[in-house]
Structure 1
Amino acid sequence: MAAKSLSPPYSQIPLGSSVPALTSHAISVSLPLWEDNIAYEEGHKRVVEKMETGYPRFFIHRSIQKLAALCLAKFGQTDESCMLFPSPRIAAEARDFLAAQTPSISSRTVEFVICPGANSLPTARTSVTAIDCIELQILLFNKDNFPSAKQFWQHSGDGISSRMAERALAFLGEAPAGMNNATPARPALCRPAGPSSAAAAISSGSSTPGPGISAPEDLASTDLSTYLEERYGRNLPLFNAPLAKQALKRRIAGGLLPSDEEFVDGKAGDIARGITEDNVYLYPGGMSAIWHAHKVARLSRTLHGGKEGISVCFGFPYTDTLKILNKWGEGCTFYGNGTNAELDEFEAYLETQDKSAPVLALFCEFPSNPLLRCSDLARLRKLADKHGFVIVIDETIGNFINVDVTPYADILVSSLTKIFSGDSNVMGGSLILNPNGPKYTELKAAITVDYEDIYYPEDAVYMERNSRDYRGRIKRVNDNAFDVTEYLHSRSLMDESSPAEGKAIKRIYYPRYETPDLYAACQRQPTTGKGGFGGLFSVTFTSMAASVAFYDTLSCAKGPSLGTSFTLASPYAILAHYYELDWAAGYGVEAGLVRISVGQEEAPALKAMFEASVKAAEAAVAKEAAEPKA
């Protein structure tokens, strides 16, 4: 069924509300105006007090905050704060990180096993036998050290899930934080409705099922949204979470195949590249997969008695990747442009490096976020083979339907939160070991030591449901992004066939225009949809006023994240690098850059939206030109 067209309510998600609207576990938050993003970064009450939610690694979900407050009241002291983790090992890692940041920090961990009791709130009837108890790890520390603990939460991505927190609260007889019991969660915007969808019942925010949909009379109102999603969204029952995880691994392994056939019985993967579900590992989020990839690379070296060595970040990455490489291990060398010239520098460095502690690993994205540039993976692979370092490739932006970077990687990481899910209501990440890589045996031994399954079962169930149609969504997104960027290119300074005077758009960052030859070297053929370039692109403007006018006029959802089934925009540099804007600009990430993740809307609606925004940006340029010069 076709995706929904844009409509006026689509562009009116209030400041601080979840994106999608009325979604209990949304992973984005509405920041509709440019000034809202600045105010958020500067901590203005006008914005902060309206924040219902936020991206989970940056904004601790309200239900997690509520559970943490209960734990602190039960186990803490007056001068303490706490954070909640899903396993003793992760809590210990957090404690070690605190000690490394400030040796004088004193912290302690408490295990809190929460089981259903007489006061427990009802839980979904399909879930009753799935989770008997919650084993919660509480890290307690002086409240003055909360910012350091928050760094671990943000960088590692291994904090507890909001669904885990809500389950624990239910066992304790507590409702989810901020939950209006009469209002169920609305499904994701622009998600095609299946034949048994409950979209009609709740598209208006109604508290009761619509015509033809009846909930059991004994179903608690707090659980109505869960019931609707499980009954009409076709979730697996929660007790089948292990099957959901197995299905996810097979779906991911199948995505690496050269055809449209998913990995089913173990044979297809063997024929393709030897990658089967046994090479796929699930994590709570994409950044968790990156954090553990770095840890596995370090462990693979030390298990064999070697020194770790430094890591290398090649190309401008998503912000937390660079922070992970700098804060854990022996540090990082940063080649922020990822050009052939920097490859020459890196190659020269490798020839003179300390042979007793060679480079450990090189991390790169394909293509990069937000500049959509690609590195020469073939040349990097040759250097890795010669000098013995691990290559970790984050293919979240390219995604394994559009590109095949497997031959060049030892480890592939991806954020399943993005287009693999599409619904913006669940986190997840994957790590894949390339069985044909020269480091496979060492890495497999290391991950066998390190890996523990901390992906919360209920999140896996939602991820499995969301990802069933990801191939079709990627085609639609590829088509839409190709058409939108072609239009924007025609109105930019990049198009020299029309006069530059009055233009507001300076540059479009999109694989079709950025390092196209390097992208093409890994592009799957035939492409999925037009071009096969993915749904993400960035735009820069001739003035800051044009950037602001363009962003503020966009009638799409606006907030952090990408890969959603609906179009989502953000002033990327403002959100990711507000306190280091000059540094980011030195690598081409301008303060006025707008990053856009195109969704599945109908083409005419998208065209109308972007035409209006371009006109607003050009009007801002004309207004500036007409103003008297100082």
Structure 2
Amino acid sequence: MPSQEVGLPIPNIPHAVSVTLPTWEANIAYEEGEHWVTSKMSSGYPRFYIHSSIRQLCRKLEAKYGREGEECLVFPSYKVAKRCREFLKSHFEGKIRILQLSTPEPVSDSDKSIQVGATFGVVFFPKSLFPLAKSYWQHSGEVVSSRMGEYILKSLFTGPKSKTKQELQAQKIQSRSPSIRASRSSASGCFNDDLETEFDTFIEQKFGRVLDLKFANEAKRALRRRICGKVDKSCNQIEEIEKSKRGKYLSESDVYLFPSGMASIFYAHHALFNILPAGKSVCFGFPYVDTLNILKKFGPGVIFLGLGDDSSLLQLEKDLEEGLKIMALFCECPSNPLLKTPNLKKIKELGEKYDFAIVVDETVGNFINIHVLPYADMVASSLTKVFSGDSNVLAGSLVLNPLSRYYAKLKKFFNTNYEDLFWDEDALWLERNSRDFVERVHKVDNTSEKVVNLLLSNPKISKVYYPSVSPSRHHYDMIKTQDGGYGGLISFVFHKPSDAIKFFNSVDLYKGPSLGTNFSLACPYSILAHYQELDEIEQWGVDRNLIRISIGLEEPEDLLQVLEKSLEQ
């Protein structure tokens, strides 16, 4: 049964990416920093809550390398640490130091199974700047994962880890794997059906839950190919005349992995800022909070079109006709939490006419349900969500459209500047988690439609937000794949706020941040994501008492029964 204990990880494992906030009151208390909640927090979403292993690592680094009055924060590379320093210096004129450190490289082949050389950056700053440094961590998503922090801590401060008998046996099993051997010799390019089947099973887990770091690069290649194989289906929908313009197809080399979904959006903005004339970007539609923060706090600023509807697009077109210059347009498809779908076809037409780039975050729709690549220059996704499902790894991806008019410039920039910051052990976990991604998506889609019908029929509920019942459905249907559904995210509002509180407090589901988990997950979204701006968000149609549910893999009848029981409260 879902735990209702405040602060417990969801799931209850060391590297969980969600945390239990089981009541309306607990969510408010968390936002207000009340001790009865914050003192019990043993976990949290990794961009907002710094994992205990990372905090412990920072304390060790401060003791060894710090100066009086300093704190530090670790980042996955020296370049990222420099970006953090630049951000801090834009707000502070004092001294900020960076230290680059590395863990020992493996010496022998057997060491490669449990050891990897990791080079990372440490930013030292006055203690008063910690909230600002943490805001860079949160907004950029360029974070050290809890597994990476744990590894560095053990490697630098508790000595090398010895292989257990179990790990040695697992290594022998994996080295014999025919799919591992095949992966080393297969040609590059997108999956065909045979390759996809091969890679979907290639890191065999025949011996417990041991992961062999020696195969991390192959796991990453499998992930890029898996993403490429799914996204490329959208590329294949492009008219033949468009294909012939470039004569290129999406390949695994156009898929880039990141330590979080937000890092992929941040890096998309960073890349465009470096290859295009500097200018404001448009945030089209009410987005997840840190997408807007990135556009606000990094670069020349943002034009926020929060309604994200056809009228907003007409006004943008008018402003562009009158001389408005923008660098890029960022949007979600569909948006979180209102599940609106932008008119991507029209946005693409405007982008071509007025020369701005288009970045689409398809996390909520996911690339099994929708194909947005033909309408975007870059497609970002949080792999933490339904692609992983298990709520135990943070990851993101960014796909370059090879038919984009900016492709050559983007490719040159990525070839020169992109760093693989995705921690090896996280890659191994994600590869395994995502093998049944397609089947899970279809099950979630089917269950979600049943839940939507239940909510629509309940007289206590005033509004249901879901792509299939949205006024923007025709825009969603334009990009929906042949076998795709409408996703697993549903938001709704009660007529009476008191009914929302009663429902949330009584519903027997996991309750915390995140979405796309294999278990259904609920939260009072506005309270959790926008508590300090509840009046402001209402102008964009976001009700302060909105509840969001991410549908999981429970049997539909069981989930419907749980929801019906709470709706009767």
TM-score exceeds 0.5: yes
Check conservation: 2:113, 2:212, Cα contact below 8 A: no
Please tell me whether residue 254 in structure 1 is matched to residue 229 in structure 2.
yes
Cα displacement (A) at 1:93: 0.2
Specify every segment of 5 or more residues in structure 2 that has no aligned partner in the other structure, as ranges. Answer: 169-203, 237-244
SS at match of 2:474: helix
SS at match of 2:467: coil
Q: Report the RMSD for the aligned CA atoms in angstroms.
A: 2.5
Deviations 1:408-443 (A, max 9, x none): 000000000000000000011000010011221122
Deviations 1:201-235 (A, max 9, x none): xxxxxxxxxxxxxx967889xxxxxxxx9655666
Cα displacement (A) at 1:519: 0.7
- The normalised TM-score by structure 1 is 0.79
SS at match of 1:485: helix
Q: Distance in 1 between matches of 2:208 and 2:437?
A: 15
TM alignment of 1:328-407, pairs within 5 A: 328-353=298-323, 358-407=325-374
Check conservation: 1:484, 1:607, Cα contact below 8 A: yes
Paired AA for residue 505 in structure 1 = I
Structure 2 partner of 1:418: 385
Please tell me whether residue 578 in structure 1 is matched to residue 531 in structure 2.
yes
Paired AA for residue 48 in structure 1 = T
Structure 2 partner of 1:517: 474
Q: Percent identity?
A: 43
Structure 2 partner of 1:291: 266
Paired AA for residue 351 in structure 1 = E
Check conservation: 2:497, 2:545, Cα contact below 8 A: yes
CA gap 1:233/1:416 in 2 versus in 1, 3 angstroms: farther
TM alignment of 1:175-194, pairs within 5 A: none
TM alignment of 1:105-184, pairs within 5 A: 105-115=94-104, 128-129=112-113, 131-174=115-158
Cα displacement (A) at 1:165: 1.1
Q: Distance in 1 between matches of 2:49 and 2:214?
A: 29
Q: Distance in 1 between matches of 2:9 and 2:248?
A: 40
Cα displacement (A) at 1:448: 2.2
Please tell me whether residue 30 in structure 1 is matched to residue 20 in structure 2.
yes
Q: Distance in 2 between matches of 1:414 and 1:235?
A: 28
Cα displacement (A) at 1:445: 1.9
TM alignment of 1:399-478, pairs within 5 A: 399-478=366-445
Please tell me whether residue 569 in structure 1 is matched to residue 560 in structure 2.
no
Q: Distance in 1 between matches of 2:332 and 2:476?
A: 12
Deviates more, 1:270-279 or 1:552-561: 270-279
Q: Distance in 2 between matches of 1:443 and 1:244?
A: 25
CA gap 1:477/1:127 in 2 versus in 1, 3 angstroms: farther
Aligned length: 522
Q: Distance in 1 between matches of 2:110 and 2:286?
A: 45
Structure 2 partner of 1:504: 460
Q: Distance in 1 between matches of 2:285 and 2:28?
A: 26
Structure 1 partner of 2:194: none
CA gap 1:218/1:244 in 2 versus in 1, 3 angstroms: closer
Structure 1 partner of 2:513: 560
Q: Distance in 2 between matches of 1:443 and 1:112?
A: 30
Cα displacement (A) at 1:257: 3.8
Check conservation: 1:127, 1:237, Cα contact below 8 A: no
Structure 2 partner of 1:66: 56
Structure 2 partner of 1:592: 545
Paired AA for residue 599 in structure 1 = G
Specify every segment of 5 or more residues in structure 1 that has no aligned partner in the other structure, as ranges. Answer: 1-9, 118-124, 176-214, 221-228, 262-269, 302-306, 492-502, 617-630
Q: Distance in 1 between matches of 2:3 and 2:114?
A: 38
Please tell me whether residue 490 in structure 1 is matched to residue 447 in structure 2.
no
Q: Distance in 2 between matches of 1:29 and 1:551?
A: 16
Check conservation: 1:236, 1:465, Cα contact below 8 A: no
Q: Distance in 2 between matches of 1:344 and 1:128?
A: 57
Deviations 1:545-569 (A, max 9, x none): 1111111111111100000000001
Check conservation: 2:167, 2:210, Cα contact below 8 A: no
Check conservation: 1:13, 1:19, Cα contact below 8 A: no
Q: Distance in 1 between matches of 2:536 and 2:328?
A: 24
Cα displacement (A) at 1:602: 0.9
Cα displacement (A) at 1:12: 2.3
Deviations 1:507-529 (A, max 9, x none): 1100011111111011111x24x
CA gap 1:376/1:148 in 2 versus in 1, 3 angstroms: same
Check conservation: 1:391, 1:411, Cα contact below 8 A: yes
- The normalised TM-score by structure 2 is 0.88
Cα displacement (A) at 1:276: 1.0
SS at match of 1:139: strand
Cα displacement (A) at 1:271: 13
Cα displacement (A) at 1:273: 7.5
Structure 2 partner of 1:14: 5
CA gap 1:326/1:542 in 2 versus in 1, 3 angstroms: same
Check conservation: 2:519, 2:552, Cα contact below 8 A: yes
